[in-house]
Chains A and B, each alone.
Chain A
Amino acid sequence: MGRFWSLIFLAVPVLGVGTFAVAPFFNIWLPADVSEHGRSVDSLFMFILWLTGAVFVITELLLFWFMWKYDSTKSKTPAKYVHGNHALEVVWTILPAATLLFLAIYQMNTWADIKMRRPVMAPTVEVVGRQFEWRLRYPGRDGSLGTPDDLFLVNDLHVPVDEDILIQLKTMDVLHSFFLPNLRIKQDAVPGMKIPVWFKALETGEFDIVCAELCGWGHYKMKGRITIESRADFDAWLEKKYALQEQTAPPPEETDTAGL
């Protein structure tokens, strides 16, 4: 039976690698990326995947090989009476330590780009989470947020392509998380905080906005759409929405959505 069990454990690396190898063909893989920094996120993901993949395959193969070779019903040699090996311990402490430290340092630049080096500009739009919708607020014709001519929308975010976009993220009630899978953006919205989120989209198209932090029973349906379009299209859209708001209603009751 030792042979059988060894093969079962051999199946772990074989099927494990196999799963990752075929998944992209079924489109079960990183969704299309349309953002500037998404490239580096994806390449870091792939880098870690190759690295950990190699460690995974090597260690699992060793495990299989030891099971196969040292099966007590098959092997004639007596068990080795050893309590360890100092040199080996040093090697397998230093090597992974150096690798892990390198990995950590290697991430820092991308992280800083996405979360620390925020572009100096006025917010393009304010996004406010609310059970269970995304409330959007564009600065009106005066170009600044929080004035009476702001444009209010729900779940339908539009941004111009190839430009830095700065979002001011807030929530009225509970935690939400503003997740743009195709732009590799995720940021929790926290009651009492205004959190800046920025990105630059490189392709036009329409994509999902997902809420990624549990916010109550309707969490699953807190869905929005983001439309990335050319500057001209964006301006035209904004103008159209603005005109619509002007003729239909007085400004919504809350001028300051999160009471901040």
Chain B
Amino acid sequence: MSIASPQRPHSHILEATHVRHSKSSRPVLEFLSHYVFSKDHKVIGLQFLFSTLLWFLIGGLLALAVRWQVAWPWSDVPVLGKLFEQQGGQMAPEFYTMLFTMHATVMIFLVIIPILAGAFGNFLIPLMIGADDMAFPTLNMLSYWFMWPAFIAFGSSFFVEGGAASSGWTSYPTLSTNVAASPGSGMGQTLWLLGLTFVGVSSMLGSVNYMTTIILMRAPGMTMFRLPMTIWAMFITAILQAFALPVLTAAGFMQLADRLIGTGFFSPEGNIVNNTLTSTGGGQPLLWQHLFWFYSHPAVYIMTLPAMGMVSDILTCFSRKPLFGYRPMVYSMAGISGLGFIVWGHHMFISGMNPALGTTFMVSTMLIALPSAVKTFNWLGTMWGGKLQFTTPMLFAISFVSMFIIGGLSGIFMAATPVDIFIHDTYFIVAHFHYVLFASTAMCVWGAIYFWFPKMFGRTMNEFWGKVHFFLTFIFLNGTFFTMHILGAVGFPRRLADAYHYETFHHLQPLNAFMTWCAIGMVACQIIFAINFFWSIFFGPVAGRNPWNANGLEWTTPSPPGHGNFDFQPIVHRGPYEYSVPGCEKDFLMQTDPPRVLPAVTH
């Protein structure tokens, strides 16, 4: 912690606070310890950000290849075609299977989870609670570096014999455990399981750190109920991770053991794959599904709660209004995480699981839509009566609300067991999770990047191009994903390399072609974002400490903050959402503003 200076520095003061390192005799080591193996939460956060954005690009390109096959099966693939020269430029079905498996794997495990918790969690937690760093900086550094074995495992699996994993991101046995069942079930699947384990270790290290930091390192005056929603979300997410992950890790090891030493946890007696009788038995394929979803349902909230938190912060800032229903917002997040542990069976309604159990899971699943509804109403309440500023981050935040409504409502169809019989494993499900994961979470991530970019790099991104980026992404994403609902209503199955030979689906090719064009547009317009992002790091207009006139503690630090974050001791006097306080000369009241500035204000 740097010197404590009593007064809060003025906002809009530009300071060059990059910590200057004294000339060292070992500049290489110095560079390594400050920028590569750094223990500074901000550097680690940015490392996560850059790595995950790179994987985002890879995942997006994989998605385009998937879409190509769905729209124009067996046609010559542009660019990728060279890979398939032996087949005359067409994609092989096993390649398609691998593509969607790895698309989902990359997006979930290497993009959404680490970008929320790893990038934003790391960068924001100490800044927003007024700490100089995380509780365990070394652990924090390791949480980033444990991603690298995962990057290498997933990345290299594309090049091993049989290709990368190809039994879906859910890796259901016995397809995934039996090498004879699928080409990708060889080395690729082993690497997949190893990669998953390393991602898990990384998340676990992060989650322990986040919980400790948030509980123990809050600045004086920062009570739990003065925490910004982002921090509450990160806190609850960390708890979810800590309780759910061990189950996935154990399941992963069991599958690994099944594959490598033939333990047969998941293989029943007498299984004949590819005309060979498997030697193991005594296991149950459904066991994997239970263990997998016991983690992966909470994981969908790990992929959405932090976004909900960040959206709440962005929405209040640009509505210039206090958050509507602070406590209900916190309780509903807690409710989501609690209920989140007892709904996993909704992924298994037709798996062969006891149908009576299905009924039970239907009730809990219906109920989990409730806290989501409460949150949505409170966001609407926050915008009601505000003074809305349509900045780029605000547009992304509003789109989160708008799109989350769609994703939440489609969840209700699937929670209804009889309806799920028909729509399970169709494009309806694909629509649902793209609305919650892409249209909501990923859109929020963009908003959050535009919002906290000034804090990260000391400069602001270009607003005009930010809005163009928003506009195009918003249009194209709805073109791509909304139409999936009606595809699902026909029963169009997911994961089929070519469905048009079915009488029921043969007329759906033009619609799929339209969606693929939208998907191409959606990926293409990210070029605007990439240019804006990198250009602004170097040439964007210099931002002061608080370019958005926001209230949080992070906006009292220099942009970007130096090592140790605060150049004064922050003392917190109020919650983070005191915007437009009557009788106050400015329309925001920072958490550190001394109480005398205003007439009596509660909260």
Interface residue? A108 (CB, 8 A): yes
Please indicate the chain B residues that have their CB under 8 angstroms from the CB of A77 in the complex.
385
Identify which of residues 1-49 in chain A touch chain B, using a CB-to-CB cut-off of 8 Å. Answer: 1-2, 5, 8-9, 12, 15-16, 19-20, 23, 27-31, 37, 40-41, 44-45, 48-49
- Residues of B contacting A103 with CB < 8 Å? 366, 412, 416
- Check A175 against B175 for contact (C-beta < 8 Å): yes
Q: With the chains together, A83 CA to B467 CA distance in Å?
A: 30
**With known contacts A96-B373, A186-B424, A44–B416 Cβ distance under 8 A:** yes
A186 touches B267 (CB 8 A): no
Chain A nearest Cβ from B443, distance in angstroms: 13
Q: In the bound complex, do residue B489 and residue A30 qualify as a contact, i.e. CB atoms below 8 Å apart?
A: yes
Q: How far is the CB of B335 from chain A (nearest CB, A)?
A: 10
Known: A28-B511, A48-B412, A217-B166. A210 touches B504 (CB 8 A): yes
Is B596's beta carbon under 8 Å from chain A? no
Residues of A within 8 A of B328 (CB): 84, 89, 93
A101 to chain B, nearest CB (A): 7
Contacts of B389 in A (CB 8 A): 72
Point out the residues of chain A lying under 8 angstroms from B582, CB to CB.
81
Q: Mark A81-98, 1 if CB is under 8 A from B, else 0.
A: 111110011001100110
Whether A216 pairs with B424 at a CB distance below 8 angstroms is no
In chain A, positions 66-86 with a C-beta closer than 8 Å to chain B are 66-67, 70-72, 75, 77-85
Chain B residues numbered 123-168 whose CB sits less than 8 Å from any CB in chain A: 166-168
Query: Are A79 and B319 touching (Cβ within 8 A)?
Result: yes
Establish whether residues B418 and A111, one from each chain, have CB atoms under 8 Å apart when the complex forms.
yes
Residues of chain B with a CB closer than 8 A to A215's CB: 175
Q: Report B-chain residues with C-beta under 8 Å of the C-beta of A190.
A: 285-286, 351-352
- CB contact list, B469-516 vs A, under 8 A: 471, 474, 478, 482-483, 485-487, 489-491, 493, 495-499, 501-504, 507-508, 511
Find chain A residues with CB under 8 A from B94 CB: 216-217
Other-chain contact of A82, B322, B362, B373, B496 (Cβ < 8 Å): B322
B384 touches A173 (CB 8 A): no
Q: Are B385 and A80 in contact (CB under 8 A)?
A: yes
Q: Which parts of B297-344 form the interface with A (CB within 8 Å)?
A: 319-328
Beyond A111-B355, A192-B268, is A60–B405 a contact (Cβ under 8 Å)? Answer: yes
Known: A100-B367, A181-B504. A89 touches B174 (CB 8 A): no
| Docked-complex contact B271 and A79, CB < 8 angstroms | no
Contact residues in A for B46 (Cβ distance below 8 Å): none
A103 to B351, CA, bound (A): 22
- Asked if B97 is at the interface (CB within 8 A of a chain A CB), the reply is yes
Rounded to whole Å, the gap between the CB of B271 and the closest CB of chain A is 5
A52, A83, A260: the one within 8 Å of B409 (CB): A52
Residue in A29, A44, A213, A221 whose beta carbon sits within 8 Å of that of B425 in the complex: A213
Docked-complex contact B366 and A104, CB < 8 angstroms: yes
Tell me the minimal C-beta distance from A43 to chain B in angstroms: 10
Which chain A residues have a beta carbon within 8 Å of chain B's beta carbons?
Answer: 1-2, 5, 8-9, 12, 15-16, 19-20, 23, 27-31, 37, 40-41, 44-45, 48-49, 52, 55-56, 59-60, 62-63, 66-67, 70-72, 75, 77-85, 88-89, 92-93, 96-97, 100-101, 103-104, 107-108, 110-112, 114-116, 131, 172-175, 177, 179, 181-182, 184-193, 195, 207-208, 210-221, 223, 258-260
Besides A85-B325, A174-B178, 5 new A-B residue pairs in contact (Cβ under 8 A), listed by A number: A30-B490, A59-B376, A63-B401, A79-B320, A100-B412
Question: Can you name 5 A-B pairs with beta carbons within 8 Å?
Answer: A20-B486, A80-B384, A131-B274, A211-B493, A217-B93
